[in-house]
Amino acid sequence: MGIHQDRGEPWRRWYKTKRWQVLRLNVFLRDNYRCQCGCGRIEGNTSRLVADHKIAHRGDERLFWDERNVQTLMKQCHDEAKQKAEQSSLPTRGVWY
């Protein structure tokens, strides 16, 4: 199941809005299409990039729409490192989806 698949939470629909698409592109432009994880790779194909929330928003609109809380990551870096870190913290914070 995809990370942004609609499971009934209203915030999941935010990813499908024009507002999110604009914010996402602005973040990629700001970061010069460079992965912010430390690998420094540059990717012009935006389908290979993820606009990642540095601090998980968990439905908090302020965190979701705050451009300073969003960074460019290569999809591979996001899926491997970021998701692994978030999943490893489930026992201490509880399942939030």
Q: What share of the chain is helix, strand, coil (3-state, %, to 5)?
A: 50, 10, 35
Condensed to tens digits (0 to 9), the pLDDT of residues 47-76 reads 999 999 999 999 999 999 999 999 999 999
Instruction: Please state the pTM of the whole predicted model.
Output: 0.76
Domain contains 96: no
Residue 68 lies in a domain: yes
Q: What is the pLDDT of residues 5-45, one digit of tens each?
A: 545 788 899 999 999 999 999 999 999 999 999 999 999 99
**Domain carrying residue 65:** 11-84
Helix runs in 1-97, H state only: 18-30, 61-65, 75-77, 83-88, 90-93
- 76 occurs within a structural domain: yes
Amino acid at 35: C
> Which residues are paired to 71 by β-bridges?
52
Number of domains in the chain: 1
